[in-house]
Structure 1
């Protein structure tokens, strides 16, 4: 057990990350430490509203709540939580919070004065340490809840959660309360099985179906998890998986076993009595992970369900499972795994033997294949229907339903994202890269021997020349071609040279033969190369103030053929395979790599910031940060925890008209404009907004050009032209003109949308849909890109930045990111797309921190990607080029001595620029505390401009090449990445590893390692735990200008949303059509912006259910529907994301 305060009572904590906040690294550390100190922790995960957290705390009868909040809106969030606890009569529950430097000292004082027990600051972490913080929390919550007033439950009902919770707490403490006699018999459904069988997901899916079929049903869930024998703590983790708890008809209580070797708590039977007395209609009891000999659940359940997976071992093991003798129903969950059909057959046989049901039809044997992680799974439907039958046969008409929503039923549909025969793709890629490296070294050895032998031959013969590379190669060619006059004394030497020459591959021989030409090309004044059939000529040097000609690219000075060949095969010049030094021959002269992140308040304010950042530059490289409400696909709302986050830490966007105002004044179709959007879960909707805006600009440009719309050409870039908005302007378009304008716009528009759903599930946590559905949306976007020839826009930015921000070290960041990229390659190939159709639409996004490995992150990424794409996938040159964006590390920004952050950012920017990143964002020094101000953003931009325009080293474009250390580090990091590929492959690839939580666990472990070193001082951080300012008082942070969205801005967002939804409801038209089936030819004939929003949503759902391309439909849906409307419509047909630990 961890050292620190030892509680006298059983202390229960609810832990979570705040609403629209995916930063769960800190709260995961906190909940682990609470467990280690003996607390029972009900962990809710990320993105939890105040109401969800308070509901959970009351239902669980917890003494404390711990919430991390890193996305702004904390004042409204925590004060609303205190208010709601008081309103619910639960003010005894202590509230703790933290948000790094985001919550400044003045705000901490206000929140603690309002009633929050403690908001931890970075200084608290330094002074108290992690264990000290946990001890403070435990001591504040160390009281017996059963001794509080109103502990007795005189009027239990399903909705009186606090009285229910208190009664169950009394049961747990051995004080069975007096209970009223139940008025009805509530059946108990028991679910047990081995740990990891998916019991919680299965329970959630069954409860969801009951709620749909029985609108009045009141359901209770008791979930049991084991107590740690050594510490007495417990992780009560089932609640995190339960999406059905959003209904107020569901009550859940998590229980710890509070003893070893048990799958149920001793309090379960008493808790069931409490719930029956309260009048619940149905009770689920989910046990902790059960062993082969465990059948406790059968003693308390009317219907017992045994959940297992196909990986139970040999068939003999089935005979040892006690529960198969007692289970009324068996679910073989995770049925998409190998061997599932064999498992179904064998388990059915064993069930027959155990129950002596040898004559029963095979279809009647109550063993079902299920995939509870799949939305609306046919197997779960079949299990649910059989469970309904069991309940109806035993308990009568209360469980009869005329038409169930759980249709169709049968075996799970198996649509693997990666085909089973391809799950070893990462091991293949690792082997491919290792073979390429080994092959290169073999060729280098051959070339070196040839250099030595030919050199000796030149010295021993009368061959003319000075021994230069060209001289020796000429001699080599003469010997191997047979044109060299014979010299008998040297015949054996010539024979050995000819023998070795056959060991050189054609690629190696060509590389060496053309080396003098390459040297000549780079020795001139200019260099000409082609980009998509367009010739580009660049000057090969610049002149310093001292008159030195600084070459853009410097080649190795060695004459050794081995060293030259190693350079070509492992490094090469920028723009040449394997692209270690860069994917383009030279940096763009007319466009700097600057891409600055911006987003705050409403679209008008962020538009102003964009114009500020673009001022004085001939190009516009915009990078858009969205507020957390938008990131989670929701609309702005009045609830305090939502309202507080509108326009905080990003721009609030919920309609296509918002997007028009956001990019007003920027020509989205111009070749010097590029737009990046950092959004993931709702990326398909935001991309549809963006493409519509680009299409609208093109349509308005055409209308103005031929005089149908009055205005100047630049007016086409504004939301209103001649006082008219889009709804009015669109009436001027001829049939088919809109479709043509949109098609032309998307073929030239430049930019990126992040849309990396794998990374979200592993680290960032802005998933909103089920993973399978989210990947389908990604695939639909890419298919639409291919069909519509979208060549200049990246459909995904495969992101390691957020993996690093969640706590991963640079090697893990790089390995997981590249692995995710190759997973998308495999998925798109499985969808029938050709690699060269989609690979050019993939881009990458990395962090640059202070660790040494960041120096070569781009070099390693480019080399691995190019090698795998060429050697494994047969991709063309364009597909082999990995293009990536760098953002300096947000994790290295500290709230103490914030002025020092610019120093860190400068060093990180230099690494990125020297490594030839394709675009760069430099963080502002005050981002550890607030949304950047204009002053701090200008300084951050200046870091890039000074580095690029003034810093002499970067006048050369391959400064890392030739460094012994850089080359050694590149090889070292590459091998570490390939080793991580092997580990992922052992777990079934990226998706298999995600199922076991491998990536998330590794990231959290590395995050905890960093935090411990930082808190102990073993990792020196200047101004934080080393070289601290002696004049700075305790708990004092710099107080920069805090950038917050104003009340007026937030209210304006709500007003716009109401107006947009009202204008696009078309209630009269919808009233005429709402009872007609979809598709409706009459409504389909209307332009998308004239269709009622309700019909647009119905069309979208129909497209989802019938397998149509959803992105093609979304391009029309967004014309009349808001972001939140679309998100919730898709939840109903694609499933909501289920959180993981």
Structure 2
């Protein structure tokens, strides 16, 4: 194997299905792979993240793929890959080769086991080092460069049926190939064979076409979901066309990724590349349509590639045509150029929630009226519909669907009847408003606010400096004016000018100038004394070193120039003082370290033991909970191999309230020295309800033990109230970040945001003041590949989006802003040195100057985790060195809590030994490292000042770029954040593979004594069979114990959702009788399921 940089040129049209495994959101690697595959001339059917084996196999079968390429970074890989091979064989597709990778997570012994089982190749980090990214792709493509169906002919067209998808798929391949090869014997033979197989079958063909980015796939999916629900015995074939890249011959066939309806066995989808047709349809499409007809599908849908104004090729191939567009077509005169408006039976103006959509609806109706010459017809009766396919159960889509059924009946002789009530009007009646349209430039306004603040600082500092200089000059001259009486008028003029300049001081400037001498005095002694409610508290200001040196806890600048002091107070200031650049609290807590170690493995009993180990010698119990991927995606444990393999791996399995009670048993959750962080997002409302009920249950149990009786109803309410007022902790629950980076979204985005808002309203109503309702997270954005500036900019932008959303719901800034917290990664780049201080400064200035928020709301509090991406499976002992440096940066920058990764996390869930070492890193910094005794060590360093200003301006510039795309939600719709993250990930991986980015022990300073194929032997932490079975048994027992209550509870929950009431308040009751999976499935039905994006 040698490193190859040039793409291999395949001799055949190769088709590969790519995906990340079930309950795995780590799609950075598979996105890099699918892009390089496309560049190597491969037609890639990309499924995205969190794909089950059945979904992968279904796609591979229907697409007649040569291979599947799978990434698996979340554990359970042995079961996942083996199950893929087994299921392909069960579907008579054992010829499809399986390729995979998982970084260092899949160890050499497991690679051998999998390849022996039948997986063609598992690529290891060592393969990447030796072959390079392009070399690995070339190896894959060479391995499958052959023609499918050689030796098979038109006789295969007989006896096609929806129940034989592999046969239908192969006939489509051969029919398409024959048509592409031109008119001749083979083409005519296939045409005749399919004509014979069709007989009298005449299923209707619906053509869906439209501009690129108009949401054709999402709208197709929504129409399909309604059709499948209304007609439980009907089958559908979807033929989806995407363009081929002329230069490489590769293609991204990405429509499957958007379609949730494909889980139904009654839907068959085949993706087609245009293969040089130069049109929005493939030359072989007619043969593929005939194959679907011959197979007997009840409805055939053809979705074309994005088209221009003059394209209407699909019309000749279909019975009914639907043209999909958006309001962004320019002037109304542009409509006259759109060919499809002459031919379309139906027109959908999708994304109807965008500005200008109502005008677009009016203009398109008028244009269709003109095109049809229907001058005496009301334009409102034209078949033009305003739809929001991204919105769950949109009535505009339903109106379009009902019109489509009418056309199928009247134009195609179908007899389709639906029980759905008729929809009034032709457009969406309600638009979910997250950020009001008039507030869409909020990020640009924040950038202006921060820059304006600094401009005012500069202006005021110049005046202060001038006043200081004039006063000094005045004092010098005043010493000699007695000798020269002519100086008196000049001195009088100088005093008048000083007085005039001082009138230009702002009120804050006066206050800061008066405050500085007092601050210097307060910090000059050996103790800092402050009062709280008439009580005096003393904080030591000095630490004495072994050499007898007195190390100040907080060090002050020694400048004399008041302009310089003023600039520093406005841009930096001491810890605990606005703008909180150096930290939000004056001093670090002495009763607890900032340490918060992430833990979770196996069943709740095992993780409970790990929590007790981690907090054994600590003054405070600061627990951080990692959930297994099954739980993170809102599912219950199951015996199915691709689920079973992940139960209790890479986190703890939690699916019921009883599990949560076990998890935190032995910890008093209302103790002021106990706090719990839960890293969970998609099903966060359910997990939070589990947790709050656990805390309440503990206190109810305590009451019963103390009083030897159950509490009365009023006593229960009082206990609940006290628990909610007291409990400390954080739930991550950051849905925007999930859509951009980590991918554990499970509900439709609007619905997930609604539940976040409901949680915050519940917190305000019940005075939950010590628990953060969201941890706005940049860590997972960084892990997905973003550089530190993008991580910070995207994360802060998400935070300000929540602010705007909560304000739009009528919440007051000071009621909710203190409940928001942040979570960042610390990597090896220089910008990480200042990530916290920049975040604090931007947040505090925006909160005070723009939102008029109070001091508590101005304080940005954040957790830091050292970079998981900087951990490498080669020379893993070096990982602790990287982690130590990153942790030191975090401590210097006054993070509020810190998790240090274990060195073996590149390979496995941390073991007790590795966690102890990771914990020791923090203890050594906090207890032994001399400079850490000072709490503002970064202040005053020229490079830190330079980096702070540089990173801040880069973040503000990113705010403006996001604002230009309609804010965070508008940018998400176009995939801006995701694309930028992927580009930065590719940049990092490329530099790593070329060696231009040196990584010690990985691409340089390699160990000459060690064969790189042999990894360091580490203990692999995996859930045991006993723990997995225990979870299955406990779940079954829970379901049986609550079978009489659960169905009623789920119906009550759905009713609350549909009535628009507070969902979290009802979840607090639902979780008492329903499991996580039951609740998730129930909410899908009324709130919608997440739709993946490319």
TM-score (norm 1): 0.93
Aligned to 2:1056: 1103
Q: Deviations over 1:893-934 (max 9, x none)?
A: 000000000000000000000000000000000000000000
Offset of residue 456 of structure 1: 2.0
Answer yes or no: is 1:1114 the counterpart of 2:1067: yes
Q: How does 1:135-534 map to 2 (within 5 A)?
A: 135-147=138-150, 152-174=156-178, 175-176=186-187, 177=190, 178-179=193-194, 180-403=197-420, 410-462=427-479, 487-529=488-530
User: Aligned ranges for residues 550-699 of structure 1 at < 5 Å?
Assistant: 550-699=551-700
| Stretch of structure 1 that moved more, 966-975 or 168-177 | 168-177
Partners of 1:820 and 1:741 in 2: how far apart? 35
For residues 136-164 of structure 1, what are the alpha-carbon distances to aligned partners after superposition, in whole Å with 9 as ceiling and x for unaligned? 01011111112177992432101211001
**Which of 1124, 1127, 1137 does residue 1080 from structure 2 map onto?**
1127
Distance 1:115 1:310 in 2: 51
Deviations 1:456-475 (A, max 9, x none): 222222499xxxxxxxxxxx
Q: Which moved more, 1:1029-1038 or 1:61-70?
A: 1029-1038
Alignment deviations for residues 763-803 of structure 1 (CA, whole Å, 9 cap, x no partner): 00000000000000000000000000000000000000000
CA shift in 2, pair 1:159/1:1013, >3 Å: same
Matches of 1:329 and 1:122, distance apart in 2: 52
Equivalent position of 2:806 in the other structure: 828
2 CA distance for matches of 1:240 and 1:533? 62
Residue deviations 1:97-132 (CA, integer Å, cap 9, x gap):
011100011111111111111111111111101110
Specify whether residues 759 and 245 from structure 1 end up closer, same or farther in structure 2 by C-alpha distance, changes over 3 A only.
same
TM-aligned CA distance change 1:173 to 1:205, over 3 Å? same
* TM-score, normalised by the number of residues in structure 2: 0.96
Moved more, 1101-1110 or 501-510: 501-510
Output the CA distance in 1 between the equivalents of 2:220 and 2:375: 30
- Taking the aligned partners of 1:988 and 1:947, their CA distance within structure 2 comes to 44
Q: Displacement of 1:504 after TM fit?
A: 1.9
Q: CA deviation at 1:618?
A: 1.8
Partner of 2:852: 874
Deviation at 1:516, TM superposition (A): 1.3
CA contact (8 A) 1:845 1:885 kept: yes
Separation of aligned partners in 2, 1:887 and 1:587: 18
Distance 1:407 1:214 in 2: 23
How many angstroms apart in 1 are the aligned matches of 2:608 and 2:424? 48
Are the equivalent residues in 1 in contact too, given 2:309–2:337 (CA < 8 A)? yes
- In structure 1, what is the Cα distance between the partners aligned to 2:102 and 2:687? 28
Task: Return the alpha-carbon distance in structure 1 between the equivalents of residues 536 and 23 of structure 2.
Answer: 48
8 Å CA contact retained: 1:370, 1:412: no
1:529–1:612 CA distance, 2 compared to 1 (3 A): same
Mapped to 1, the partners of 2:801 and 2:816 lie a distance apart of 13
Q: 1:115 to 1:532 in 2, by over 3 A?
A: farther
Moved more, 316-325 or 453-462: 453-462
Q: Any idea what the Cα deviations from partners look like across 1:302-321, whole Å, max 9, x if unmatched?
A: 11000000010001100000
Structure 1 residues 968 and 228 mapped into 2: Cα distance closer, same or farther (>3 Å)? same
Q: Measure the CA separation in 2 of the matches of 1:972 and 1:700.
A: 55
The one of 41, 52, 60 aligned to 2:44: 41
DSSP-derived class of the 1:589 partner: coil
Task: Kindly indicate whether the alpha-carbon contact (under 8 Å) linking 2:234 and 2:266 is maintained by their aligned counterparts in 1.
Answer: yes
- Relative distance call for 1:270 and 1:508 in structure 2 (3 A) is same
- Deviation of 1:487 (Å): 4.2
Partner SS state of residue 47, structure 1: coil
Change (3 A) 1:52 1:946: same
My pick for the range that moved more, 1027-1036 or 944-953, is 1027-1036
- Kept in 2, the 8 Å contact 1:1101–1:1129? The answer is yes
Alignment of 1:750-829 (within 5 A): 750-829=728-807
Q: Which residue matches 1:82?
A: 85
Paired with 2:1057 and 2:1080, the residues of 1 have a C-alpha distance of 13
CA–CA separation in structure 1 for the residues paired with 2:533 and 2:367: 65
Which residues of 2 match residues 653-1052 of structure 1 at below 5 A? Answer: 653-708=654-709, 732-1052=710-1030
Q: In terms of mean alpha carbon deviation, does 258-267 or 454-463 score higher?
A: 454-463
SS at match of 1:373: coil
Please state whether the residue corresponding to 1:147 is helix, strand or coil.
coil
Deviating more after overlay: 394-403 vs 781-790: 394-403
CA distance in 2, matches of 1:150, 1:610: 64
My pick for the range that moved more, 578-587 or 259-268, is 259-268
The CA deviation at 1:426 is 0.2
Could you say if the C-alpha distance between residues 946 and 201 of structure 1 is closer, same or farther in structure 2, counting changes exceeding 3 Å?
A: same
Identify unmatched segments of 5+ residues in structure 2: 179-185
Is contact 1:368–1:383 with CA below 8 Å preserved after alignment?
yes
CA contact (8 A) 2:600 2:627 kept: yes
Matches of 2:340 and 2:670, distance apart in 1: 65
Match of 2:102 among 89, 92, 99: 99
User: What is the distance in 1 between the residues matched to 2:606 and 2:469?
Assistant: 68
Q: Is the 8 A contact 1:893 1:927 kept in 2?
A: yes
Residues 536, 247 of structure 1: alpha-carbon distance in 2 compared, 3 angstrom cutoff: farther
Aligned to 2:183: none
Match of 2:74 among 65, 71, 79: 71
Question: Deviations along 1:962-1017, whole A, 9 cap, x unmatched?
Answer: 11111111000000000000000000000000000000000000000000000000
Q: Deviations over 1:641-684 (max 9, x none)?
A: 00000000000000000000000000000100000000000000
Pair 1:1061–1:380, CA change in 2 (3 A): same
- Give the distance between the partners of 1:258 and 1:561, measured in 2 at CA: 71
Q: For the aligned residues, what is the CA RMSD?
A: 1.7
Asked if 1 retains the 8 angstrom alpha-carbon contact of 2:345 and 2:383, the reply is: yes
Separation in 1 of the partners of 2:425 and 2:384? 17
Give, in angstroms, the shift of residue 535 of structure 1: 6.0
After superposition, the Cα gap between the structure-2 partners of 1:403 and 1:443, relative to the gap in structure 1 and judged at 3 Å, is: closer
For 1:64 and 1:325, locate their aligned partners in 2 and report how far apart those are by CA, in whole Å.
Answer: 42
Query: In the aligned structure 1, how far is the partner of 2:336 from the partner of 2:368?
Result: 9
- Offset of residue 173 of structure 1: 1.0
- Conserved in 2, the CA contact under 8 Å of 1:209 and 1:406? no
Deviations 1:146-204 (A, max 9, x none): 21779924321012110010001002211553231344321001000000000000000
Give the aligned partner of residue 714 of structure 1.
Answer: none
Distance 1:72 1:1112 in 2: 34
Match in the other structure for 2:1041: 1063
- How many Å apart are 1:616 and its aligned residue? 1.5
Instruction: Report the CA distance shift for 1:562/1:306 in structure 2 as closer, same or farther (over 3 A).
Output: same
Question: Which whole-Å CA distance do the structure 1 matches of 2:373 and 2:167 have between them?
Answer: 45
Structure 2: how far apart are the matches of 1:341 and 1:222?
31
Contact 1:748 1:792 in 2 (8 A): yes
